[in-house]
Amino acid sequence: MNILDKITLDKRKEVDLRKSLIPVTQLEQSVLFERQTASLANKLRHSKSGIIAEHKRRSPSKSIINNNLNVQDVAKGYENAGVCGMSVLTDGKYFGGSLDDLLIARASCNLPLLRKEFIIDEYQILEAKAYGADVILLIAAILTRQEIKQFSELAKSLKLDVLLEVHNEEELHKSIMPSLDMLGVNNRNLKTFDVSLETSKTLSTLIPDDFVKVSESGISNIEAIKELQPYGYQGFLIGENFMKTNNPGESATAFIKALNA
């Protein structure tokens, strides 16, 4: 069983528990449920840098990245840096995140917020909306085509953007549908954790231009972005690079300045 299978198995138990504690009606009564969402896809289309900066405390591949920062400072720092959006990991067991992180980020900035989560149930999409997200992530490796369709259409009905993540050609072919806004190519092989930008380059020609192309993982310098821009990528998800510093906002500011210089 690879790490993704393990996470997904644990996630099913976690979601069942959460559903038993907080009914859907309660989520729908959240103040944020009526909030006007912001489109990350639109921001990426009109941005020179295309940076989506992440809040991530730890990961299965890197263990602890940074446990000392508070979400509020990170969100404000990213917004001041001029990033296009912020990705907030809400998985607790493997990434040290929580839905409270999303709530705090929402209260601290006006950036489009991506709920970075292993979504396997419609309930999590309603949660994303109730906790202030603007975008959800769907991971093709853990979903069937029918689930991708069902989940993305629900997200669109809630005015949430959808970023669908793929790792290879097979996942890409099963996933392409009109209810997606962005197609993200994860350069990390989830079975071996090896990272290669070649994955983004190879898959770029297979992604129709209707979708905003996003490259994820292994983007730690501006050279990587300059290398990928000619392949049509408009979004770049950067997590560890900023989070491993004492001030992610400052490091994102310096990065974007250098990129646009």
Q: Just list the catalytic residues.
A: 54, 56, 116, 165, 186, 216-217
105, amino acid identity = A
Place of tokens 């409270």: 100
DSSP-based three-state secondary structure for 79: helix
Planar angle of CA 188, 58, 239, nearest 5 degrees: 55
DSSP 51-77: EEEEE-SEETTTEES-SS--HHHHHHH
Q: Give phi and psi for 125, each to the nearest 5.
A: -75, -40
Q: Within 13 Å and on the Cβ side, how many CA atoms surround 61?
A: 14
Distance, C-alpha 37 to centroid of its chain:
16
**Do 94 and 7 form a contact (C-beta atoms < 8 A)?**
yes
Torsion-angle region of 77 (φ positive above 0: left; ψ -120 to 50: alpha; else: beta): alpha
